């Protein structure tokens, strides 16, 4: 199975451990990635300024994969939403004409999927379970979907926007327990960070607090934005709410790689800001 890997802005520069673990776990599952040379930002940052500009930037990225005749895999929830939105918009004649005017070609129809959705739909739980060598049954983790994984449902038509379950199933496939908790669909606050930091931190704190109450070993994220909120801003939340979390935030491929028994360097635990030392000790690994 071969896909075009769309990295976006944050992942290749600020979250290499996500990229690294995603590539290596995919490799272990027999998935190949082709690089999207010339791919830019997905366009999402310009959406609030001018929706059309953002859609055109996204459409250009799609045209790169279209030339390769490969379906796109994304690592970031917002990139997934933006590219999917452009994909839908391309059915609109006037938008398509604008793309043509800008010289974008779409020789092949391609789809856009988040890495996790690809694992769920194209690989399947059974195959993933079969690849697990070290079941992480000692772990209780909080699965955080992030907003744009299944919403808006009119873009994706995937999973259940009200009662999502696919990511929980994937987390459970590693042997870990995916804790049932309230407000599962709560937003991390990432989009508000640039507007009102205090509010963003308050939003992130909500789930950090839940993780603490549930005594979770880690929060599992599938979006670099969400990780910025839960990991990079964890200290700020601790200060603001005068508490201690020390909650490791792992990317799902890291968790998956761990259960596959991949080398610790192959999943990049040393890049996690909150060191998952205790978690690794629990499953008999080392950081």
Partner 1 sequence: MRVLVCTCKGKIQLPKKDLGPNVILEQHDDLCKKKFQIKPDEKVVIAGCSPTVMEGLFPHATAEYVNLHEHVVLPGHGIEKAWDLITAAVAKLEHVTPVTTRVFPIKHKEVIVIGGGIAGIEVTSQLARNGITVTMIEQKPFLGGTVAQLDRLYPEGTPYGHTLMPQIGNMLQNDTSRIYTNAEVTGVTGTVGNYTVSLHTHPRGVIECTNCGKCADVCPVEVDDAGKMRKAIYYEPTYPDIYAIDFDTCTRCGECVKVCEGKISLDEKGIDKEIQAGAIVVATGLAWYDVARVEEYGYKRLDGVMTTLEFERAVTSGRLNPKKIVFIYCAGSRDSKHLLYCSKICCFLGLKEAKLVVDRFPDVQVYIAAMDMRSSGTFEYLYNTLRERGVSFIKGKPSEVFQRNGNLVVRTEDLYTNELLEIEADTVVLSSGFTPDTQTFNKLGVRLEHDFPILFENASLGNMELPRGIFTAGAATFPAGVRDALIDARKAAFSVVNLFHQDKIEMQQPNAVVNEDLCSVCRMCIGTCPYGAISIVEDKIHVDETLCMGCGICAITCPSYASQLEGFNPAALSSHIRALVRQGDILALLCKWSAYNATDRAAYDRVAYPQNVRIIRVPCSGAVDISHVMDALQNGAKGVLIGGCYPNACHYARGNFRAKAREQILRINLDLLGFNKNSVRLEWIGKDEARKFASIVKEMNK
Partner 2 sequence: MIDLKNADVNFKWEIIKHEGGEQLLKCFGCSDCAASCPVRYFDERYNPRKIIRLTLLGLKEQVLSSPFLWFCAHCHACTERCPQGIPVAELINAIKNYAVENGFCPEGYKVQFDLLKKLGRLYEVEDFDLKKRQKLGLPPIDKTIPEVVKILEYTGIEKVVKR
- Among 95-103, 105-113, 158-166, 218-226, which window interacts with partner 1 (CB under 8 A)? 158-166
User: Residue 41 binds which entry of partner 1, partner 2, none, with Cβ cut-offs from 5 to 8 Å by kind?
Assistant: partner 2
Which of the choices partner 2, partner 1, none does residue 154 contact, using the CB cut-off of 5 to 8 A by kind?
A: partner 2
Whole-number Å distance between alpha carbons of 261 and 201: 34
Q: CA distances (Å), 209 to each of 4, 79, 187, 237, in order?
A: 37, 28, 14, 10
Residue that the structure tokens 């452009």 belong to: 86
Tell me how far apart the alpha carbons of residues 280 and 61 are, in angstroms, rounded to a whole number: 38
Residue 119: CB minimum distance to partner 2, A: 20
Q: Which residues bind partner 2 (CB under 8 A)?
A: 7, 9-10, 12-14, 16, 19-20, 23, 35, 37-41, 45-53, 55-57, 60, 98, 101-102, 147-148, 151-154, 161-162, 185-187, 189-192, 194-196, 199, 202-203, 206, 268
DSSP character at residue 43:
S
Out of partner 1, partner 2, none, what residue 268 binds, judged by CB under 5 to 8 A for its kind, is: partner 2
Does residue 242 belong to the site contacting partner 1 (CB under 8 A)? no
Residue with tokens 């991390």: 188
Interacting span for partner 1 (CB under 8 A) from 116-124, 160-168, 226-234, 245-253:
160-168
Pairing of strands 2-6, 32-35: parallel
Give the position of tokens 């994984």: 149
C-alpha distances in Å from residue 213, one per residue of 204, 207, 279: 15, 10, 17
Hey, what are 245's tokens?
Answer: 């979390």
**8 vs 189 by CB, closer to partner 1:** 189
Question: Among partner 1, partner 2, none, what does residue 163 contact (CB within 5–8 Å per kind)?
Answer: partner 1
Which residues bind to partner 1, rule: CB under 8 A? 160, 162-163, 182-183
């Amino acid at each position: 199975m071969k896909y075009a890997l769309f990295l976006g802005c944050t992942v290749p520069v600020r979250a290499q451990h996500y990229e690294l673990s995603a590539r290596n776990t995919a490799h272990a599952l027999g998935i190949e990635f082709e690089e999207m040379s010339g791919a830019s930002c997905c366009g999402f940052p310009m959406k609030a300024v001018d929706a059309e500009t953002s859609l055109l930037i996204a459409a250009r990225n799609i045209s790169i994969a279209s030339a390769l005749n490969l379906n796109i895999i994304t690592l970031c929830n917002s990139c997934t939403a933006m590219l999917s939105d452009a994909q839908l918009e391309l059915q609109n004649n006037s938008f398509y004409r604008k793309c043509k005017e800008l010289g974008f070609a779409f020789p092949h129809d391609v789809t856009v999927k988040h890495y996790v959705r690809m694992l769920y739909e194209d690989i399947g739980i059974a195959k993933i379970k079969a690849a697990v060598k070290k079941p992480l049954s000692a772990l209780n983790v909080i699965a955080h979907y992030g907003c744009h994984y299944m919403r808006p449902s009119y873009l994706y038509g995937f999973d259940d926007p009200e009662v999502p379950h696919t990511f929980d199933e994937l987390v459970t496939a590693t042997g870990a327990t995916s804790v049932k908790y309230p407000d599962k669909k709560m937003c991390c606050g990432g989009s508000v960070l640039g507007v009102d930091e205090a509010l963003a931190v308050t939003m992130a704190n909500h789930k950090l607090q839940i993780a603490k109450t549930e005594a979770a070993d880690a929060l599992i994220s599938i979006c670099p934005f969400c990780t910025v909120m839960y990991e990079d801003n964890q200290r700020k939340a601790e200060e603001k709410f005068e508490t201690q979390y020390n909650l490791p935030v792992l990317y799902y491929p890291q968790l998956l790689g761990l259960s596959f028994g991949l080398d610790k360097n192959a999943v990049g635990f040393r890049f996690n800001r909150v060191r998952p030392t205790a978690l690794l000790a629990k499953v008999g690994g080392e950081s």
